[in-house]
């Protein structure tokens, strides 16, 4: 349960709201109409949470996930107004760093976080993981360890 809380705090914002009745004393619950929002109940106090840009609330797992991984059912999916950047062409995902094949960006809500592969490994954008050099095509990206 601690991990879920950390994920929600990392990938969402939360605001206290009166009027919603928590179905359980503690937990996260899908908003009735908006797939980007959720109810966060703590000691039966309801707070409305909103997933970061590009993430939606997955009701069964009760966490914010990449929009491609969430079935919103009848809940509204907000239109994402996102301007791609070189580091983050999409608001959520893993993207290669053009200047170094051993690095990549982990984008969350359109914010890039630079990551390094473990020493001796290179980033494989096709599989979205670090791998042995003989299994990665770096193309024009230089190899800098």
Query: 2-69, what's its fold?
Result: Antimicrobial Protein, Tachycitin; Chain A (2.170.140)
Phi-psi map region of 124: left, alpha, beta (phi>0 left; psi -120 to 50 alpha): beta
- Taking the domains of the chain in order of start, what are their residue ranges? 2-69, 82-145
The strand pair at 93-96 and 103-108 is best described as: antiparallel
| Identical fold, 2-69 and 82-145 | yes
Note down pLDDT in tens along the chain; length 145 residues: 333 333 444 455 555 566 789 999 999 999 999 999 999 999 999 999 999 999 999 999 999 999 889 999 999 998 888 899 999 999 999 999 999 999 999 999 899 999 999 999 999 999 999 999 999 999 999 999 8
- Cα angle at 12 between 31 and 53, to 5 degrees? 90
- The reply to whether CATH 2.170.140.10 applies to domain 82-145 is yes
Q: How confident is the model at residue 145, as a pLDDT? A: 82
- Which pLDDT does position 55 carry in this prediction? 94
């Amino acid at each position: 349960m601690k991990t879920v809380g950390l994920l929600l705090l990392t990938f969402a914002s939360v605001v206290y709201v009166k009027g919603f009745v928590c179905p359980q004393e503690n937990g996260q619950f899908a908003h009735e109409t908006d797939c980007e929002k959720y109810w966060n109940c703590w000691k039966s106090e309801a707070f409305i949470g909103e997933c970061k840009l590009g993430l939606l609330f997955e009701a069964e797992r009760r966490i914010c996930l990449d929009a491609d991984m969430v079935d919103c059912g009848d809940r509204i999916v907000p239109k994402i107004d996102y301007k791609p950047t070189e580091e983050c062409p999409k608001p959520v995902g893993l993207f290669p760093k053009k200047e170094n094949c051993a690095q990549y960006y982990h984008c969350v809500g359109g914010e890039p976080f630079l990551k390094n592969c473990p020493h001796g490994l290179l980033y494989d954008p096709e599989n979205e993981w670090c791998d042995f050099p003989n299994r990665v095509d770096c193309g024009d990206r230089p190899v800098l360890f």
